[in-house]
Amino acid sequence: MDRPIPQSKSGIAATTLIAVLAALTLMMGCSGPEPVPVVQEQAESTITKTVTASIMILERKETGPPALGEIVITPQIVVVDLEESIILTATAFLADGSPTDDVELVWAINDVRAGTIKPPGLFTAGRKPGDFPDAITATVVQKTDDGLVYTVSSVPVTVV
């Protein structure tokens, strides 16, 4: 007897056990030529198992540092003599205006005619005079949960 397995309203199949004892043969006294009596019975039983599951949905909280706002390079305009050296500083500020040291600072020269720069901001002017807009760049790298964030600021250099 084939019947589909019943489904609950939630779509979870109930475990149904249908036991059919058709042709249960009892072997009693098999010593003679008489046929062995056959007892046929049919029984049906249903077993239901209730399963409970739960999930927890959590709101993702912002973690990590606040967003960067700007970088301020000091001095904001560099005027130097030929081959003169000065120290520049760069301060990173968060979006709320507070300074932060939780960043990496990288100095670079955009115009090599202006001179050279080395960490920690030691600038040495070149051998030829001139005006070099945005010659020195400070890049601040901030590590966040979403990856790296770069903020850049530049200052002009005048070599006299």
Indicate which CATH number applies to the domain containing 90. 2.60.40
For residues 24 and 43, the answer to whether their CB atoms sit within 8 Å is: no
Task: Indicate whether 49 and 72 sit together in one domain.
Answer: no
Question: Within this chain, do residues 2 and 74 fall inside the same structural domain, yes or no?
Answer: no
Q: Which domain holds residue 77?
A: 68-159
Q: What is the mean pLDDT of residues 86-112?
A: 94
| Predicted local distance difference test score (pLDDT) of residue 21 | 36
Q: Model's pTM, two decimal places?
A: 0.58
**pLDDT tier at 57 (50, 70, 90 boundaries)?**
confident
> Is the confidence at residue 30, as pLDDT, over 50?
no
The token pair at 49 is 């198992």
Do 80 and 12 lie in one domain? The reply is no
Residues 24 and 1 in one domain: yes
Same domain, 94 and 149: yes
Same domain assignment for residues 41 and 81: no
Q: Which regions of the chain does DSSP assign to beta strands (E)?
A: 24-25, 38-39, 68-74, 78-80, 85-87, 89-94, 99-100, 104-109, 115-118, 122-125, 130-144, 147-159
In this structure, are 88 and 144 located in the same domain?
yes
Q: Tell me whether residue 129 is in a domain.
A: yes
User: Do 78 and 105 lie in a common domain?
Assistant: yes
Q: How many domains does the chain have?
A: 2
Q: Mean pLDDT across the stretch 81-89?
A: 97
